[in-house]
């Protein structure tokens, strides 16, 4: 009996000879399974990366190029507003308001009261305006002007001479016609009593000469 045979064990359980059974390690199978899982994960990552590259080179750039651009509050949306301000300032500088001495006024009386046109023309002359024709209104306006008066001039005078003359007569209606000359007409209506007080007219003229504030951005601009 061999010394390796446990006591009490004999017969078929007897161990003889000099070769002994060897036990295999159980960790080899686990390593194999982990290696297979790692390989599968690596293949998956490589496939995903390949799809991303295909997307970028085939359609990703086109999609980004056609996507709507969101306005940047700190940058680009402010440029059109700045350009509008510059353009408005250029226009204002290109068409300055004329001084009273540069405006020739024709004064016509459309009321039944006599001498009203001459009296008004004399007062306008004192205030620095140049006086042209003075007399009764034509049939087109005679006794047909219900308000304080009508200021009539060429289209070019709508934003220049007419507003300046309008500071002298509150509530007057502004109109334009096809004339080419620079003269403007003051047609006195039935509600006319007198020109505005000189102090009030001077204040209105000073306010008119002040630069207008720049327009605000449109409502479509993004609020930040």
Q: What is the pLDDT of residues 195-220, one digit of tens each?
A: 999 999 999 999 998 876 666 665 55
Residue 48 lies in a domain: no
What does the alpha-carbon distance between residue 130 and residue 126 come to, in Å, rounded to a whole number? 9
Can you tell me whether residue 150 is helix, strand or coil?
A: strand
For the record, the structure tokens of 187 come out as 């047609």
Can you tell me whether residue 69 is helix, strand or coil?
A: coil
Q: Are 118 and 179 in contact (CB under 8 A)?
A: no
Residue 119 lies in a domain: yes
Residue 121 lies in a domain: yes
Residue 24 lies in a domain: no
Any idea what the CATH number is for the domain that residue 115 is in? 3.30.70
What does the alpha-carbon distance between residue 206 and residue 210 come to, in Å, rounded to a whole number? 7
How many domains does the chain fold into?
A: 1
pTM for this structure? Answer: 0.56
What is the DSSP pairing of strand 184-188 with strand 149-154? antiparallel
Residue 126 lies in a domain: yes
Residue 216 lies in a domain: no
For the record, the structure tokens of 119 come out as 């009296």
Domain that holds residue 129: 104-209
Give yes or no for residue 134 having a pLDDT over 70: yes
Question: How is residue 187 annotated by DSSP?
Answer: E
Residue 31 lies in a domain: no
* Confidence band, pLDDT 50/70/90 cuts, at residue 16: low
Residue 80 lies in a domain: no
Give yes or no for residue 90 having a pLDDT over 50: no
Among residues 170, 164, 111, the alpha carbon closest in space to that of 141 is found at: 111
pLDDT per residue over 151-209, tens digit each? 999 999 999 999 999 999 999 999 999 999 899 999 999 999 999 999 999 999 999 98
**Can you give the pLDDT at residue 163?**
97
């Amino acid at each position: 009996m061999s010394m390796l045979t446990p006591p009490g064990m004999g017969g078929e359980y007897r161990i003889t000879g000099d070769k002994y059974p060897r036990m295999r390690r159980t960790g080899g199978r686990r390593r194999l399974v982990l290696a297979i899982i790692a390989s599968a994960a690596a293949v998956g990552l490589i496939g995903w990366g390949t799809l991303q590259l295909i997307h970028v080179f085939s359609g990703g750039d086109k999609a980004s190029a056609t996507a709507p651009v969101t306005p940047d509050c700190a940058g680009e949306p402010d440029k059109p507003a700045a350009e509008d301000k510059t353009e408005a300032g250029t226009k204002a500088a290109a068409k300055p308001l004329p001084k009273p001495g540069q405006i020739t006024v024709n004064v016509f009386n459309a009321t039944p009261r006599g001498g009203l046109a001459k009296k008004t023309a004399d007062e306008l002359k004192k205030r620095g305006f140049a006086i042209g024709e003075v007399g009764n209104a034509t049939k087109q306006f005679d006794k047909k002007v219900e308000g304080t008066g009508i200021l009539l001039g060429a289209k070019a005078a709508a934003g220049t001479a007419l507003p300046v003359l309008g500071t002298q007569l509150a509530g007057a209606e502004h109109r334009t016609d096809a004339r080419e000359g620079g003269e403007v007409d003051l047609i006195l209506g039935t509600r006319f009593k007198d020109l505005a007080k000189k102090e009030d007219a001077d204040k209105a003229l000073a306010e008119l000469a002040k630069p207008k504030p720049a327009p605000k951005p449109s409502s479509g601009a993004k609020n930040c």
